Amino acid sequence: MDAYVLQMEGITKAFPGVKALDNVSLSVKKGEIHALCGENGAGKSTLMKILSGVYPAGSFDGNIMIEGKEVSFRNIRESQEAGIAIIYQELALVPEMTVGENIFLSNDLMKKKILNWNNLYAEARKWLDQIGLDIDPQRKLGELTVGKQQLIEIVKALTKHAEILILDEPTAALTESEVAVLMEILQDLKANGVTCIYISHKLNEVMRLADSVTVLRDGRTIDTLSVSDITEDTIVSKMVGRSLTDYFPYEEHEVGDEILRVKNYSFHHKTTGEKMADNVSFMLRKGEILGVSGLMGAGRSELFISLFGGYPGKKSGEVKIDGKSADIKKPSDAISAGLAYVSEDRKRYGLILGMEITKNATLAGLQKVMPRGLIDASLELKEAENITHKLNLKTHSLEAEVEQLSGGNQQKVVLSKWLFTNPKILILDEPTRGIDVGAKSEIYKIINELSQQGVGIIMISSELPEVLGMSDRILVMSDGTISGELPREEATQERVMKLATKGRENHASTISG
């Protein structure tokens, strides 16, 4: 039983400015299901990219041994040849091709000069049968549900004679019944001697499925445990057990009257019609900083984009701003109601990269620099200068294109744009993602100042210390619902994590119970 099929030792990987992995070790026994847990950014994906050759040998330090033999992969192909297959969250399949074509996409069967289609589909049938999938291999892949597509990915991996199967958040997009099928298949594979590394945020699944679990935190291995000896709580405490070393300048400030109330809010996916948020209710006060925590895929960003009028799907429920009910159909409605939304993806949703700083800064409040119905360029420059100066934006010219700025300064331009509209409610989605420490603390300072001026602030963040350090109150989301609410005094990393990792079933039982 002690034969390790995979040993990674002393893995250290640095990106410019960040040490993503620091002396990480991972040992996986043959034929087990080994879970890999950790917060967002703990280094799980980086570690798996090293194992699968995405980051080639030489770009990191440390050894990888497969069945006791040291290996060094220069690319993905070499890791595949060694029996490693990785299934990413985003599927690497071609929707327009048939199931059979997808299964053998990078296989020799597809590389012959003349394809023998009958043979290919017969082979595909055989593999599908082997894991008990009743899918016609000649169907177009795009017609299958996401869950089924995920299973096709697994079949594809098996055809490459994968001995180590890595699944990165495989159940994020699956329904309950699909999860059950997946688990059954994984158990079968295990019985056939396939080793599986299972990355998941959903601890209930980990407890149900895995034999052992390795916890990563901040790029280090914290512990490897046998699942039979522990409870979910053990994992949670290992995942978050760090002290608040970062500096969060929380300042006592007055919290005023209610400014926003959302009642029984639900909305649907624009194409599939699936419910993205279910009966969400919460409120926000003047000058309050409301943290919103939850794991990736919990539906936080989508919820607030929808509230802001930027999501096209159907929606229902009640939104009240300053006690008056607000009907927000499009972002311009939200802006005139006093809302501002700083997106998590500033390059995609926040900035016009090829436009000057000045023009980006005034874009959402252009009417303010149009005194006689025409843009007054001097006034515009003046206003842009004022607002960016307040945010301590560093640039040699406000006429420079935003593209040329660093991440932190770009974020300040986005903030400028929204502060220029004088919002009553400011929604910040991952406001410090991808920016350096100095700019971070400046942004925290700005948030504090705004709350002192009475702006209600909603701060969505995946960084727990940030949420705990800055918020007056914390909402935790899981699977499109609010799974809990904690006041500042009661909030701990463990409690937030526990609420965030509630699976769907657990959640259902807390509601009914």
Q: Which residues bind another protein (CB under 8 A)?
A: 305, 308, 310, 330-332, 334-335, 341, 343, 348-355, 359, 363-364, 366-367, 370, 374-375, 377-379, 381-382, 385, 394-397, 399-400, 404-406, 409, 417
Taking the least distance from each CB to another protein, the nearer of 194 and 305 is 305
**Closest by Cα among 225, 158, 160 to 194:** 158
Please, what is the minimum distance in Å from the beta carbon of residue 480 to another protein?
A: 21
Please, what is the minimum distance in Å from the beta carbon of residue 313 to another protein?
A: 15
Taking the least distance from each CB to another protein, the nearer of 151 and 335 is 335
Taking the least distance from each CB to another protein, the nearer of 70 and 436 is 436
Indicate the length of the chain as a whole number. 513
**Closest by Cα among 164, 161, 131 to 148:** 131
Please, what is the minimum distance in Å from the beta carbon of residue 424 to another protein?
A: 15
Please, what is the minimum distance in Å from the beta carbon of residue 404 to another protein?
A: 4
Coil, strand or helix at 462? coil
Coil, strand or helix at 222? strand
Q: Tell me 212's DSSP state.
A: E
Please, what is the minimum distance in Å from the beta carbon of residue 409 to another protein?
A: 6
Taking the least distance from each CB to another protein, the nearer of 436 and 505 is 436
For the beta carbon of residue 490, count every other beta carbon within 10 angstroms. Answer: 10
Amino acid 347 reads K
- Whether 427 contacts 339, CB under 8 Å: yes
Please, what is the minimum distance in Å from the beta carbon of residue 108 to another protein?
A: 38
Please, what is the minimum distance in Å from the beta carbon of residue 417 to another protein?
A: 7
User: How would you label 424-434 residue by residue, b for 16+ Cβ within 10 Å and e otherwise?
Assistant: bbbbbbbbbbe
- Whether 291 contacts 470, CB under 8 Å: yes
Q: Are strands 425-429 and 61-66 parallel, antiparallel or unpaired?
A: unpaired
Taking the least distance from each CB to another protein, the nearer of 283 and 363 is 363
Sign of CA dihedral 180, 280, 450, 407: positive
Tell me how far CA of residue 504 lies from CA of 228, 259, 392, 483, in angstroms.
22, 31, 44, 10
Kindly write down the DSSP assignment for every residue of 426-482, as one continuous string.
Answer: EEEESTTTT--HHHHHHHHHHHHHHHHTT-EEEEE-S-HHHHHHH-SEEEEEETTEE
Taking the least distance from each CB to another protein, the nearer of 148 and 346 is 346
Taking the least distance from each CB to another protein, the nearer of 26 and 384 is 384
Q: What are phi and psi of 283, to 5 degrees?
A: -140, 165
Please, what is the minimum distance in Å from the beta carbon of residue 330 to another protein?
A: 7
Taking the least distance from each CB to another protein, the nearer of 153 and 429 is 429
Please, what is the minimum distance in Å from the beta carbon of residue 350 to another protein?
A: 6
- Whether 129 contacts 120, CB under 8 Å: no
Taking the least distance from each CB to another protein, the nearer of 133 and 387 is 387
The span from the CA of 149 to the CA of 144, in Å, is 6
Please, what is the minimum distance in Å from the beta carbon of residue 375 to another protein?
A: 5
Non-local (6+) Cβ contacts of 348 within 8 A are none
The span from the CA of 415 to the CA of 283, in Å, is 23
Tell me how far CA of residue 456 lies from CA of 117, 427, 512, in angstroms.
62, 8, 32
If phi > 0 it is left, if psi is from -120 to 50 it is alpha, else beta; for residue 57 that is beta
Taking the least distance from each CB to another protein, the nearer of 99 and 361 is 361
